[in-house]
Amino acid sequence: MTEIPQELTRFLASASRVVALTGAGASQESGLRTFRDAQTGLWAQYKPEDLASPEAFTRDPKLVWDWYAWRREAIKGARPNPGHYALVEIEKRIPNFTLITQNVDGLHRFAGSQNVLELHGNIQKVRCSECGTFTETWGDDSESVPVCERCGGLLRPDVVWFGEPLPRSELEAAVTASRACQVFFSIGTSGAVQPAAALAHAARNNGSVVVEINAEPTPLTPIVDFALHGKSGEILPGLVRAVWGG
Ligand code: APR
């Protein structure tokens, strides 16, 4: 059991502005595979640029569409884990709480989190790759990539691919919240992808306490105030109990 430092519980008990940034590790205990974990990582089987880039979609739209359809299926059966629910509890107790996620699985909202910034989009949303029109229904004949009813362009998931910019308003809100917070949590993320990884530095440079909750040390570990290494589905509920009881 990872011990929660008393100093951290004191910071949290008196904080009014808190940010939590989550990555694939936060959904690992929901049965979803992380990106870079050795052996089990999704990317171990595929080169990321062959599946999650505009170039890949141009080269082989069907391969890319099928991969996202497969992930969508896996996510359909996934349920939030105790870490997701602990973040809902923290939001209830902190007046100004922002949850920034790199995950496209939608599990934070499923659990009940309200103020969520999805930096990399949401896999359940689909839009036209040509005209940008969103659609909630599409035909899946398994032979070809479904097309936009409006313009005939190929449909694609509304997620951020390698080389694509992040959604501007989400990114701006994430940077603003990270600069203003008193406590910043980095949870289940390898810190390998920018600009999400830079948010912890923005928080620290503005005087925030920075806390890492991760299965293992990351490039961020040397600069954090508290590094709690273990499963977020165990550490986060433990943190809630340590600060607010129950
Ligand atoms: N609890 C806490 N941490 C965990 C757990 C767990 N149960 N399981 C795994 N981890 C940690 C791993 O040790 C790793 O450091 O979560 C981290 C997951 O890292 P990545 O797989 O790199 O995921 P992430 O940081 O979210 O990747 C960022 O990269 O490929 C892009 O767009 C994709 O959103 C993704 C982004």
Q: For atom 30 of ligand 1, which residue has the closest CA? A: 35
Residue 35 pLDDT:
67
Same domain for 96 and 25: yes
Residue 197 pLDDT:
79
Q: What percent of the chain has pLDDT over 90?
A: 78
Would you call 108 a catalytic residue per the annotation?
A: no
Evaluate: CB of 30 within 6 angstroms of ligand 1: no
Find the range with the poorest average confidence among 27-36, 92-101, 103-112, 225-234: 27-36
Tell me, what CATH number does 136's domain have? 3.30.1600.10
Residue 50 pLDDT:
78
Task: Please give the distance, rounded to the nearest whole angstrom, from the Cα atom of residue 160 to the centre of ligand 1.
Answer: 16
Measured at the CA of 245, the angle between CA 243 and CA 10, to 5 degrees, comes to 20
When pLDDT is averaged across residues 17-22 and rounded to a whole number, the result is 98
Place of tokens 């996620």: 101
When pLDDT is averaged across residues 167-191 and rounded to a whole number, the result is 96
Evaluate: CB of 193 within 6 angstroms of ligand 1: yes
Same domain for 231 and 188: yes
**Looking at the 3D structure of the chain, how many domains does it have?**
2
Same domain for 113 and 59: no
Query: Is residue 1 domain-resident?
Result: no
Same domain for 91 and 61: no
Same domain for 205 and 97: yes
Q: Are strands 121-128 and 155-159 parallel, antiparallel or unpaired?
A: antiparallel
Q: Which of 21, 37, 100, 218 to mutate to test the pocket of ligand 1 (most atoms within 8 A of CB)?
A: 37
Q: Which domain holds residue 184?
A: 6-32+79-120+165-244
From residue 99, alpha-carbon distances to 90, 114, 118, 136, 145 in Å are 10, 8, 9, 25, 33
Residue 156: strand pairing partners: 127
Evaluate: CB of 232 within 6 angstroms of ligand 1: yes
pLDDT exceeds 90 at position 41 = no
Q: Which of 77, 76, 86 is nearest to 111 (CA)?
A: 86
Cβ–Cβ < 8 Å for 79, 110: yes
CA distance 211 to 226: 5
Task: Please give the distance, rounded to the nearest whole angstrom, from the Cα atom of residue 151 to the centre of ligand 1.
Answer: 37
Take residue 11 and report the two structure tokens written for it.
Answer: 């910071």
Q: How does pLDDT run across 69-112, given as a tens digit for each residue?
A: 888 988 999 999 999 999 999 999 999 999 999 999 999 999 99
Task: Please give the distance, rounded to the nearest whole angstrom, from the Cα atom of residue 103 to the centre of ligand 1.
Answer: 9
pLDDT averaged over every residue in the chain: 92
CA distance 105 to 138: 19
Neighbours of 18 (CB within 10 A): 25
